[in-house]
Amino acid sequence: MSIIVTGAAGFIGSNLVKALNERGHTDIIAVDNLTNADKFLNLTDCEIADYMDKRDFRQRLQKGQLPNKIEAILHQGACSDTMEHDGVYMMDNNYRYTLELFEFAQSRGIPFLYASSAAVYGGSTQFVESRELEAPLNVYGYSKFLFDQVLRRWMKAGLKSPVVGFRYFNVYGFREQHKGRMASVAFHNFNQFREGGKVKLFGGYGGYEAGCQQRDFVSVEDVVKVNMHFLEKQGPSGVYNLGTGRAQTFNDVALSTLNTLRKSQGQSALSLTQAVSDGHIEYVPFPDALKGKYQSYTQADLTQLRAAGYDGAFYTVEEGVERYVSRLIERRKG
């Protein structure tokens, strides 16, 4: 029985492939678009049965030519660029593609886990899986929001197999190096500090002081654990927030990053005040292009996730970023 992972060479997808391997699954059909060829590096330590280009995969899907024996589909394939302005591309790549796979999975009775996003909440200050709190600020968020509504309608009518959507908050961690400007804050902070001895953060905006905008930063290690839990338990179906339930500042991420790097060099940890006064953290004006389209605060409400049976702990920024940066340091040494 095969497991299909779309976006398999991407950030979360490749971490899921690795986690499946660690659980004994190697009959994996990896689906992706390797126009950005360097993404293949994410799969070099993974075992898969086959690779399919996304375009070929969608054609086979539409023609009913996929394998008969499929155990589950983990759909991570999407454009995650929140600044993408081509709505036609975004809706086809994120919404229509997901709908096609979902309908296929339902027709075959195959469990379907997919990536939604906290972007569906837009500028809300409440992050509960409830329709009245959802108002995306960009077409990326809308593409995710729209399919979540499809799932809700199908759940009322009755599903033939489990379907679980995860509203990822700000995910960071290993295997994201290919994402460019869409990589996590921790990844950019790591490279900035290594290259120039300083980390750059946005200045004050939206009532928040410099570096004090808050996000729910969640380690990809925790994201994988939640996905594996729902895969193994076969549901329950629904749309769930996947964050830590804890908002922390961009200052926290920057300080954890630079202090982990300093520790690796035998240097003592700095306080935020010291890091700023020493020039290790620099605040830059908030970009005009992001004004009115930026979430200054996110914090996942985990009530429904916990009610569904997931009781695992989540890493804090200090714990998760230290683990991640330490791994990046080891990789650079190698």
Residue 163: which of 154, 172, 174 has the closest Cα? 154
Which position among 97, 140, 142, 168 bears the catalytic label?
140
What distance in Å separates the CA atoms of residue 122 and residue 134, rounded to the nearest whole number? Answer: 7
Please give the Cα distance from 219 to 223 (Å, whole number): 7
For residue 18, indicate whether it is catalytic. Answer: no
Q: ∠ CA(127), CA(221), CA(330), 5° rounding? A: 135
Q: Which residues of 247-263 are buried (b: 16+ CB within 10 A; e: fewer)?
A: bbbbbbbbbbbbbbbbe
Catalytic residue among 179, 198, 233, 293: 179
Q: Which token pair is 237?
A: 């179906």
d(Cα 303, Cα 320) in Å, to the nearest integer?
Answer: 22
Q: Closest by alpha carbon to 57, among 40, 36, 81, 73?
A: 73
Question: Catalytic annotation on 179?
Answer: yes
Q: What positions carry a catalytic annotation? A: 140, 179
